Chain A
Amino acid sequence: MSPASGMPPRTLFEKIWDDHLVSGDDPALLYVDLHLVHEVTSPQAFAGLDQAGRKVRRPDLTLATVDHAIPTTSRSLGIRDPQSKKQVDTLKRNTARHGITYFGLDDPRQGIVHVVGPENGYTQPGNVIVCGDSHTSTHGAFGALAFGIGTSEVEHVLATQTLWQKRPKTMAVEFEGPLPQGVTAKDLILGMIARLGVGGGVGHVIEYRGEAIRGLSMEERMTICNMSIEGGARAGMIAPDQTTFEYLDGRPQAPKAEGWEAAIEYWSHLPTDPDATFDTTHTIDATSLVPHVSWGINPGQTAPITSTVPDPDDFSDPIEKDSVVRALKYMDLRPGTPFVDIVVDHVFLGSCTNGRIEDLRRAAKVVSGRRVAEGVNAVVVPGSMQVKAQAEAEGLADIFQSAGFSWREAGCSSCLAMNDDVIPAGERCASTSNRNFEGRQGRGARTHLLSPAMAAAAAVAGHLVDVRDWS
């Protein structure tokens, strides 16, 4: 798997694709280096295997945890909902039967699958990574080709460790210049989706490039790649570099000793060659970005915090206009309302987008010495039990709790509200998660997507604010 000489210039995506070709061309049969599994999209896949009398081909390349539908209250209380309990018990049984590593509810490594993979060193540059979850794109932050699959494909990967894929198109998004002070990775990706639209990336794998990207930490890169799917893209990726290697060095599953040297050599050849071309290129001036907040019912319906709720009449495309009318009705917003005047009832800090230690640090910095506004229900759900333990060790949990935040156990929680963390109908939530779809956080619940610092500020102020005004 060493780089071939005399090859035409290739992109990061093309190198990974070429190095994973088992058979065929388009569709190609690709080898899967890491298959992540969780409780919600796997039971029918394991049942299908059993029915056909098939085995898991590579349990050693498969990792399972529980995250989607589990409670975030004390683990000692167990799972109240009988159906969720059955689903979790089913995963436990299936992983035990097939010899798959399982981070269960009582495991200190349990957490959201897209937090757990990277923090334990499973996620590595150059990998093909799949999971029955659309936010698998998160792992692209390491220079991996990572994408979400459905349950039939989960079964296919369990049985064969491969997947048939039609070759996607490539898209470069160049972020020129550095990110301004007070503007975060979340604002960068929300700003991009606002420009390209929720269908802008369909059929493509995006490579995020440019000065603003190179300056980001791994946590921030994960936030960006995580939301690739919200722009419709098959996957998002960022070339591995020193930042990537430093993050991985010493993690439990990262290569060791001579293996580490060999890995670094291979990984160093992965970045896109200087003369390689993309099917589509977009350029965004990163220096012009400001904090963003969503106002509608898809992540493309997002705008700078400094602006106002849009008017349907501002949209010329009739389909888009209809969508805006529908969004404003669902969100109970009037055109022209300044975003900073929008009052919130709930604040949710967490998810595979923004539930990592750096996210909690940024939010804690805003919260420190302040109190959650009266009437606001503010909750922190760490992305994993390891993030939770680290945040407690750093004193972040104390900061949140003394400010009036509820401090929970790890899981997906209010991002999709499959557990009890449901936002009631008609109530408004400032959320660091990734989707503001109708009913996503609870039937009739109204979601505003924003960054951890912005969410923390909203919790304290009781309404949306431009966090830059506070620094």
Chain B
Amino acid sequence: MKPVSEVRGTMVPLPQADVDTDQIIPKQFLTRTERTGYGDFLFYDWATTSDGAPSSDFFTNDPNRTAANVLIAGRNFGCGSSREHAVWAIQDWGFDVVIAPSFGDIFRNNSVNVGLLTVELPEADVARLHDVAQDPNASIRVDLESQVVETGDFVFEFDIDPAVKERLLNGLDLIGLTMQEEQAISTFESRRPAWMAYS
């Protein structure tokens, strides 16, 4: 996993509440067995008309937004299905950070596991960012180390779980780390009662 520290770039505003992962990556793309290549399908049903042509008013088709790397979303972003493909699609499209008032629990966990930084800010602060992000050229800086989001005159501090912060900053392979707990896992297993075994 690539480490995350400081992200500089531009934004896309998507203020709608309760955006579910079915919208982020519709089911027809989940039969793929690959781990990459989902960027073109991000928000597919919103980004295309029913015959597959680009919807002119959606950000993925806006030439002024193609370089954006920070998504400013609405509350409860990424609710619904556990599909990690949603996070992969967001990353593959080019986003490094998603900022929202709140996130679906599974989406947030999935993001940490692949190095997509999710930043929670109060609803009023996110509303300000939505306003600023109307300008496709407005720049933003997200600094994980100092836990600060900066754009124009606004500076917002954010909270983050220290364990999550450390993993993101160092791009740690979680499985490798957990395997160092081998002794504790084996000890736990030796104490499991026999009736818990499946036949």
| B76 & A152 in contact (Cβ 8 Å cutoff) | no
| B102 & A150 in contact (Cβ 8 Å cutoff) | no
Type the 1/0 row for B15-49, where 1 means its CB is closer than 8 Å to any CB of A.
11110101100111011111100000000010000
Q: How far is the CA of A61 from the CA of B188 in the complex (A)?
A: 14
Interface residues of A in 293-351 (CB under 8 A from B): 298, 300, 319-320, 322-323, 326
Q: A263 at interface (Cβ–Cβ under 8 A)? A: yes
Write the nearest CB–CB distance from A138 to chain B, whole angstroms: 13
Given A41-B83, A161-B185, A439-B45, decide whether A253 and B199 contact each other with a Cβ distance below 8 A: yes
Q: How far is the CA of A142 from the CA of B32 in the complex (A)?
A: 33
Q: B153 at interface (Cβ–Cβ under 8 A)? A: no
| B197 & A60 in contact (Cβ 8 Å cutoff) | yes
* Chain B residues within 8 Å of A124, by CB: 196
| A1 & B193 in contact (Cβ 8 Å cutoff) | yes
Write the nearest CB–CB distance from B184 to chain A, whole angstroms: 5
Q: B175 at interface (Cβ–Cβ under 8 A)? A: yes
* Chain B residues within 8 Å of A57, by CB: 185
Write the nearest CB–CB distance from A60 to chain B, whole angstroms: 6
Q: How far is the CA of A81 from the CA of B193 in the complex (A)?
A: 44
* Chain A residues within 8 Å of B50, by CB: 425, 443-444
Least CB separation from B83: chain A residue: A41
Given A132-B82, A150-B87, A153-B109, decide whether A202 and B76 contact each other with a Cβ distance below 8 A: yes
Q: How far is the CA of A60 from the CA of B197 in the complex (A)?
A: 8
| B34 & A199 in contact (Cβ 8 Å cutoff) | no
> Which residue from B23, B33, B161, B178 sits with its C-beta under 8 Å from A437?
B23
| A166 & B31 in contact (Cβ 8 Å cutoff) | no
* Chain A residues within 8 Å of B175, by CB: 52, 54, 155-156, 159-160
* Chain B residues within 8 Å of A161, by CB: 185, 189
Q: A402 at interface (Cβ–Cβ under 8 A)? A: no
| B114 & A152 in contact (Cβ 8 Å cutoff) | yes
| A319 & B75 in contact (Cβ 8 Å cutoff) | yes
| B185 & A160 in contact (Cβ 8 Å cutoff) | yes
> Which residue from A168, A259, A416 sits with its C-beta under 8 Å from B195?
A259
| A149 & B106 in contact (Cβ 8 Å cutoff) | yes
> Which residue from B34, B184, B191, B194 sits with its C-beta under 8 Å from A259?
B194
* Chain B residues within 8 Å of A196, by CB: none
Q: A40 at interface (Cβ–Cβ under 8 A)? A: yes
> Which residue from A69, A86, A232 sits with its C-beta under 8 Å from B30?
A69
Q: A353 at interface (Cβ–Cβ under 8 A)? A: no
| A60 & B31 in contact (Cβ 8 Å cutoff) | no
Type the 1/0 row for A133-159, where 1 means its CB is closer than 8 Å to any CB of B.
110100000000001111111011001
Q: How far is the CA of A153 from the CA of B189 in the complex (A)?
A: 20
Q: How far is the CA of A147 from the CA of B30 in the complex (A)?
A: 20
Q: How far is the CA of A132 from the CA of B21 in the complex (A)?
A: 14
22 contacts across the A-B interface (CB closer than 8 A): A27-B163, A29-B185, A31-B188, A40-B83, A44-B35, A47-B33, A134-B81, A134-B82, A150-B82, A152-B114, A156-B178, A160-B175, A160-B185, A164-B163, A166-B161, A199-B18, A259-B195, A263-B195, A298-B18, A435-B22, A439-B22, A439-B45
| Chain B residues within CB distance 8 Å of chain A | 15-18, 20, 22-23, 26-28, 30-35, 45, 50, 74-76, 79-85, 87, 102-106, 109-110, 113-114, 161, 163, 174-175, 178-179, 181, 184-185, 188-189, 191-199
